[in-house]
Amino acid sequence: MTRDKLYSLLLLHLIVLIFGFTGIWGKLVSLESAPLVFLRMLIGGSLIGVFLLVSRRKWRLPLNMTLKMALVGLIVAAHWITFFEAIHRSNVSVTLSTMASTSLFVAVLTPIIGGGKLKWYEVWLGVVVIVGLAMIFGFASGFWEGMVLALISAFLAALFTLLNAIFIRHIDSLRITLWEMLFGAGVVAIYLGVVGYSFEDFLHLSGLDWLWVLLLAVLATAFAFVVSVQVMKVLSPFTVAISVNLEPIYSIILALMIFGEEERMSWGFYMGSALILVAILANAFFKKKEAAYAK
Q: Each residue of 180-190: pLDDT tens digit? A: 899 999 999 99
Task: Give pLDDT tens digits for 4-31.
Answer: 777 878 888 888 888 888 889 988 888 8
The reported pLDDT for the residue numbered 232 is 66
Count Cβ atoms below 10 Å from residue 233 Cβ, excluding itself.
Answer: 8
Q: Three-state DSSP class for 16?
A: helix
Q: What is the model's pTM? A: 0.84
Decide if pLDDT at 139 tops 80. no
Q: What is the mean pLDDT of residues 138-154?
A: 84
Count Cβ atoms below 10 Å from residue 209 Cβ, excluding itself.
Answer: 17
Decide if pLDDT at 210 tops 60. yes
Element (H, E) at 124: helix 120-139
Task: Report CA 200 to chain centroid distance, whole Å.
Answer: 29
Decide if pLDDT at 80 tops 90. yes
Decide if pLDDT at 1 tops 80. no
The reported pLDDT for the residue numbered 237 is 57
List the one residue out of 75, 71, 78, 96 whose CA is nearest residue 37: 78
The pLDDT confidence band at residue 251, using thresholds 50, 70 and 90, is: confident
Cβ neighbours of residue 135 under 8 Å, at least 6 residues apart?
268, 269, 271, 272, 275
Report the mean per-residue pLDDT for the chain.
82
Task: Give pLDDT tens digits for 52-73.
Answer: 888 888 778 777 778 888 899 9
The C-alpha R_g of the chain, in whole angstroms, comes to: 19
Q: Three-state DSSP class for 2?
A: coil
DSSP conformation class of 171: S
The pair phi, psi for residue 100, each rounded to 5°, is: -65, -10
Q: What is the mean pLDDT of residues 69-95?
A: 91
Domain boundaries, the chain: 3-294
Count Cβ atoms below 10 Å from residue 273 Cβ, excluding itself.
Answer: 24
The reported pLDDT for the residue numbered 182 is 92
The whole-angstrom separation of Cα 84 and Cα 179 is: 22
